[in-house]
Amino acid sequence: MIGNPAIIFLDEPSTGMDPVSRRFMWDVIADISTRGKESTIVLTTHSMEECEALCSRVGIMVGGRLRCYGSVQHIKSRFGDGLVFDVKLDMPTADELEYLLQHIFDNGSEFVTPEELEVKCRAFGNAQLADRVTASHPTGYSLAGAMERDGFIRAEAFCSWCVEETCFDSLNDYLVRAFGKGQVQVMERQNDFARFKVRSRNNEVKLSKMFALVEDVKTKMHIREYSVSQTTLEQIFNSFASQQEEEQGVARGVFQ
């Protein structure tokens, strides 16, 4: 890069570097191309982090053909698969738990036995919650484990779980009503955390609309914190890469 050449070709310039050295290399490249405007740099890389840090225009090649070209934001908007919505729900307050304990466990019992499970779920207002207390359910497994280990579930844990499940169901139903059936997918659930993928029929979900919808019901749905993000460039790259035509066609395990 000595002599300020008009065009510089770089292939995986920061591969194998530690984070500090990698950042230094990126700063050098950015100084030359973006801030100094001394040279045009053509960079090839498999690192989407490097790509987003350095490139003003991005092209993705599959099978020797250029499949897309444009700014990072253009590619995310054009080829992204909706938005990713991460949410954490509030735990029920002590007053809410006390009310539920008095309402559901009016006999003063502090436990739920296997025989009482469906009855207590019905008393809570949703008998179908009993079907979720299984080892395979993403949140009900903890109650199922306690039931198997101890022969009962503590009343406080049962009520807290019922509230969280109800809040999750309400939020999921709200998103389905807003974007349409089949456009909302639950990607992950862990205790009070949930991750949704949200699409629209025309595949154009605006961040502003998503934020407005969530803010309108944030308190009502007991949402403690949330984030909304576009499909990452890494996910888009992997989606294109899975279409690479090789001896076995589409990559195994990828559904189209």
Flag whether pLDDT at 107 surpasses 90: no
- pLDDT of the residue at 254: 45
For the chain, what percent of residues have pLDDT higher than 90? 24
Q: Whole-angstrom Cα distance, residue 160 to residue 192?
A: 11
Q: Quick check: is 246 in a domain?
A: no
Q: How many domains does the chain have?
A: 2
Flag whether pLDDT at 252 surpasses 50: no
Mean pLDDT, to the nearest integer, of 152-164? 90
Q: CATH no. for residue 60?
A: 3.40.50.300
- Residue 189, token pair as written in the block: 């659930």
Structural domain boundaries, residue 225: 83-233
pLDDT tens across 26-44, in order? Answer: 998 888 887 667 788 899 9
Q: Quick check: is 191 in a domain?
A: yes
- Residue 160 and residue 182 in one domain: yes
- pLDDT of the residue at 35: 66
Q: Quick check: is 243 in a domain?
A: no
Q: Quick check: is 111 in a domain?
A: yes
Q: Quick check: is 72 in a domain?
A: yes
- pLDDT of the residue at 176: 92
pLDDT tens across 188-206, in order? Answer: 888 889 999 888 766 667 8
Q: Which of 49, 79, 109 is the last residue of a domain?
A: 79
Say if pTM beats, i.e. exceeds, 0.85. no
- pLDDT of the residue at 245: 56
- Residue 89 and residue 212 in one domain: yes
Report which residue type is found at 95. D
| Residues 6 or more apart in contact with residue 22 via CB below 8 angstroms | 14, 50
- pLDDT of the residue at 1: 64
- Residue 97 and residue 43 in one domain: no
- Residue 34 and residue 149 in one domain: no
> How far lies 41's CA from each of 2, 17, 33, 64, 237, in Å?
14, 20, 6, 20, 21
Mean pLDDT, to the nearest integer, of 210-228? 91
pLDDT tens across 69-86, in order? Answer: 999 888 887 887 788 899
Q: Helix, strand or coil for residue 58?
A: strand
Mean pLDDT, to the nearest integer, of 140-160? 90
Mean pLDDT, to the nearest integer, of 129-153? 90
Q: Which of 27, 61, 79 is the last residue of a domain?
A: 79
- Residue 227 and residue 103 in one domain: yes
